[in-house]
Amino acid sequence: METKGVEVVFTKPCYGLITSLYNLERKHPITGKVQPHWGVDYGDDKDNTIMAAAQGVIRFIGRGHKSAGNFIIIKHSNGWETAYLHLASISVKVGQSVGQGQKIGVKGMTGGATGIHLHFEVSTSTWPGKYKNNVNPVLYIDDPNVRELQRNLNKLGYKLIEDGIYGEATIHAVKNFQSKNNLLADGVAGHLTVASIKKALPIHIGKEDPSMTEPNVNIVSPSHKEAWEWAKEEGYLNGERPKEPLTREQFATVLKRVHDKLSK
């Protein structure tokens, strides 16, 4: 996505849900002390490939760092840098040019980590630079998982812009849902929250009704009633109907047959 004042377009650097947000007052999961979380965490996924968030050059690679573990720093054309921490493996070299979406490593839990994840940071200057130049990564990334989250929350009555940006409005909506459903109200839509949101969706969304409701003869016209009966006889509206959706041509055929029968 394009962001005002940013010449580089960033994309999500991996698959998976957000498990921890950029938070300067976050309590560290290992030490228990309040310690700024200067980036965003993406959790374990079926595909733990890590990709360059934008085109750039590998400026630095660290290995075995006490807190960062194995990590990569990429310098981008606008002077910004992205950092990828806790990697299980690294597949690039210092000085190498990489394209956006190119594989650079694999998620892990090296350094100070309690589980497999990617800790991702964005800096407007040299990283880390005492972190004073760090910005919230999720405000610069259109995340497909966040778009789906926003879409589902809107189906539950929230009024979010479905832009894939995990901003304050989305965090507030997630916290609101969590509070109403006795979940930890931290604003992070992890697997439990996402599953709860999907479970709360109206029953007809994403599900096929195995039975077809009979038309109300008091409000349905005779021609529509006849068409309904014909379609049932042909196997379109009962247990024998095709499992796959009808094609346009099949649907047109059904309409033509009904029309021809009613025209006799």
Residue 32's CATH number:
2.70.70.10
Closest residue by Cα to residue 127 from 58, 177, 227:
58
Mean pLDDT of 65-86: 96
Mean pLDDT of 218-225: 60
* 37 confidence band (pLDDT: 50, 70, 90): confident
Same domain, 135 and 81: yes
User: In 10 A of CB 149, how many CB atoms?
Assistant: 25
* 2 confidence band (pLDDT: 50, 70, 90): very low
pLDDT of 211 > 50? The answer is no
Same domain, 121 and 102: yes
Mean pLDDT of 121-138: 91
pLDDT of 127 > 80? The answer is yes
Same domain, 136 and 158: no
- pLDDT value of position 256: 75
- pLDDT value of position 129: 74
**Proportion of the chain above pLDDT 90, given as a percent:** 64
Total domain count, the chain:
3
- Alpha-carbon gap, residue 135 to 172, rounded angstroms: 20
pLDDT of 227 > 50? The answer is yes
Residue 260 gets the label, from left (phi > 0), alpha (psi -120 to 50) or beta, of alpha
Radius of gyration over alpha carbons of the chain, in Å? 26
Q: Reduce the secondary structure of the chain to three states and give it as a string.
A: CCECCECCCCCCCECCCEEECCECCCECCCCCCECCECCEEEECCCCCEEECCCCEEEEEEEEEECCCEEEEEEECCCCCEEEEECEEEECCCCCCEECCCCEEEEEECCCCCCCCEEEEEEECCCCCHHHCCEECHHHHCCCHHHHHHHHHHHHCCCCCCCCCCCCHHHHHHHHHHHHHCCCCCCCCCCHHHHHHHHHHCCCCCCCCCCCCCCCCCCCCCHHHHHHHHHHHHCCCCCCCCCCCCCCHHHHHHHHHHHHHHHHC
pLDDT of 240 > 90? The answer is no
pLDDT of 53 > 70? The answer is yes
Say if CB 66 and CB 111 are below 8 A apart. Answer: yes
pLDDT of 31 > 70? The answer is no
Mean pLDDT of 188-207: 85
- pLDDT value of position 238: 53
**Proportion of the chain above pLDDT 70, given as a percent:** 74
Average pLDDT over the chain reads: 84
**Domain termination residue (choose one: 140, 156, 171):** 140
User: In 10 A of CB 239, how many CB atoms?
Assistant: 8
> What range does the domain containing 124 cover?
18-140
Task: Look at residue 244 and tell me if it is in a domain.
Answer: yes
Task: Look at residue 104 and tell me if it is in a domain.
Answer: yes
Say if CB 119 and CB 41 are below 8 A apart. Answer: yes
pLDDT of 79 > 90? The answer is yes
Same domain, 123 and 157: no
Same domain, 50 and 155: no
Q: Is the peptide bond before 215 cis (omega within 30 degrees of 0)?
A: no
pLDDT of 81 > 70? The answer is yes
- pLDDT value of position 259: 75
- In angstroms, the Cα distances linking 205 to 140, 156, 157, 214 are 30, 11, 14, 20
* 203 confidence band (pLDDT: 50, 70, 90): confident
- pLDDT value of position 219: 54
* 21 confidence band (pLDDT: 50, 70, 90): very high
- pLDDT value of position 261: 74
Same domain, 160 and 134: no
Angle between helices 168-180 and 144-155 (to 10 degrees): 50
Token couple for 205: 């969304």
pTM score over 0.85: no
